Amino acid sequence: MPSALIDDPAHTIPACQPQDQRGTSSPLGATPCREGVNFCVFSKHATGIVLLLFDDADDAQPARAIRIDPASNRTGHYWHVFIPGVMAGQIYGYCVEGPWDPSSGMRFDPAKVLLDPYGRGVVVPDRYSRDAAKGADSNIATAMKSVVVNPSAYDWEGDQPLRLSSAQTIIYEMHVRGFTRHPSSGVGETTRGTFAGLIEKIPYLQQLGITAVELLPVFQFDAQDCPPGKVNYWGYAPVSFFAPHQAYSSRQDPLGPVDEFRDMVKALHRAGIEVVLDVVFNHTAEGGEDGPTLCFRGLDNTAFYILQEDRSGYANYTGTGNTLNANHPVVRRMIVDSLRYWVEEMHVDGFRFDLASILARDPTGQPIPNPPVLWDIDTDPALAGTKLFAEAWDAAGLYQVGSFIGDSWKEWNGRFRDDVRALFHGEPGSAARMADRLVGSPNIYGHEEREAEQSVNFITCHDGFTLNDLVSYDHKHNEANDEGNRDGADDNRSWNCGIEGPSDDPAVEKLRNRQVKNFLAVTLLSLGMPMILMGDEVRRTQSGNNNAYCQDNELSWFDWDLVERHADVHRFVTLLCGRRRLRDTEHERRRWSLNELIRQASKTWHGVKVGRPDWEENSLAFAFEVELRQEGISIYLILNAFWEPLEFELPPVGDGARPWRRWIDTALDAPQDISPWEMAAPLSGCTYRAAAHSVVVLLAGLRGTMNR
């Protein structure tokens, strides 16, 4: 059994201080007031807890060590103490005593300094060591530590979450550090890769036309949770659910990350852009049986994690070594409290839940029909109106796209991604599936009678190929990860357009450009809520790496020179986003379901012949006609994923209507590939020749007008 830190002769720790006040069991965490700070932490099975106060993150010893009296300072399973004179900015941690008996799930290790699960801030010492949190010795000098934060000590200047219409939302999935870390960003060295650096690039986001940024994890994570010699770049290794990641702040004082994150949110809101956080409530950075003791494991292992039947090991439904016990009452409360904090005190607008299906598992790991934590989130009044996105699957085979529980959750539609890729990859049977994805995936979501935006439509995200690499590589190339190219998905449904990797062949490059525009057009034109990946609008590449989680370098960073190099793709996305933001929201105001919206629409499916769509197995082309009555126009969309040009008959336009005009043709060179809506070029004739591998959108004025 590890020796207790307070009894370790190798460390001269100040004597425990007499208690000034008992403190209270609510709220959890460190709560400052005028006279001092109330500290409260949960542990059912601990036998002793010591609160450590530090003057600096790198201190080898605490300035004070206060033993919490289990007789007078414990209420139920909550240990609490009030310390007068302590203020916001105070650095602290816990040492927790209790049984070391892995066979029964008990893994108390009083030699380790633990983070507060409710800590609002975290400091990371220069000598932080993940390995030191695994061994038998004390890690007091190398441990992350929590920070006392006063949430009310910030001037929001009237800012509030934006609550933008889902019908007009365009999501941009991005990495805070990767967005501005590249030297080409033009951001100063001290702010590159930080919340402050992102603020400097807000004009770019405004000009692009997106309405929401979805930030890869910004909760404090363990950057050392990765293979030797690498860095955990993505951040799916949380150690705190309340504290912003210290390394993403240009201010390295203990309170700097909290305020700088808020500065970023406030600035984005002023620009009309919502902030959605990618949150990881399915596992932590503590890993499996041989992992470090950083927080939860050392406080109450049996409460915070789903354990194997024999209690000695961890259930691993995440592929990361452990699984958070999300439906345990204490963990449920922590998750909801975290979400409330980020909405109420940090003003974020929404959350994307990584591997959200894990939250549907009970403490034994079995899926349950009505998971309490999901309904807690869905029905919490403080979260009403907050955007909730579920990645509706996990790493152990539970796949819930189209069946995720709740009334408010929207879903990352993995089948949209797969089926759109399949069509432009030329796979048999993909045309009929693509038609369903185009109109909001009613075959997947129609049974729930939910809104059209329940489906979050995407082709690429952080996990997988970038859009450029999707059309440039037949196979993943993850050698840089030093895992023998075994990591990352093997099923990518990608096509290199004739040559693997970079090419100087003009024909190959032109085809790749066309395919990129095809994917972007379908994403931004389909019913649902569109999401695009950072840099796809300028063909950012990861050199074929489809799992760059450990690549904190130019492989993952946004190269700003690409904005000029691929200006035509950037322009294409900008015009598509501009039109998407003008989408009519009547169906949202009336609370029409997807099914009702489809029933109300005047629509027709076509093939190369008017009114004769081809849904046969080998078909790779179809057309779709729909009237937008509020706009006073008709749209004719052609998808030709066939390897040869096809001549499509055009439906006749109504009496008095203006003839068909070409808005988009991805086969044409810029600026003919897309025009401003009101400048769409008029066509003559009754057919349109759609080039191989192309998307075409034609417009016709229903009332003799095209000025909308």
Positions marked catalytic: 354, 391
Q: Pick from 529, 382, 401, 346: which is nearest to 454 by CA?
A: 529
Q: Cβ neighbours of residue 612 under 8 Å, at least 6 residues apart?
A: 606
Q: For residue 598, give the H/E element and its range.
A: helix 594-600
How many other CB atoms are found less than 10 A from the CB of residue 322?
Answer: 27
Distance CA 376, CA 383 (A): 10
3-state helix, strand, coil in the chain (%, to 5): 25, 20, 55
Residue 466: both structure tokens together? 């970038």
Q: For residue 32, give the H/E element and its range.
A: strand 29-32
Distances (CA, A) of 478 to 96, 419, 481, 549, 559: 41, 24, 6, 11, 20
Distance CA 80, CA 62 (A): 19
Q: Pick from 28, 110, 36, 37: which is nearest to 75 by CA?
A: 28
| Residue 538 amino acid letter | V
| In contact, 550 and 232? CB cutoff 8 Å | yes
| In contact, 653 and 636? CB cutoff 8 Å | no
Place of tokens 């904005």: 563
Length of the chain, please?
Answer: 708
For 586-597, give one letter per residue: b (16+ CB within 10 A) or e: ebbeeebbbbeb
Q: How far is CA 51 from the centre of its chain?
A: 34
Residue 275: both structure tokens together? 């902030």
| Residue 445 amino acid letter | Y
Q: Cβ neighbours of residue 16 under 8 Å, at least 6 residues apart?
A: 6, 50, 65, 66, 67
Distance CA 273, CA 198 (A): 13
Half-sphere exposure (Cβ direction) of 562: Cα atoms closer than 13 Å: 17
Q: Cβ neighbours of residue 135 under 8 Å, at least 6 residues apart?
A: none
What does R_g of the chain's alpha carbons equal in angstroms?
A: 27
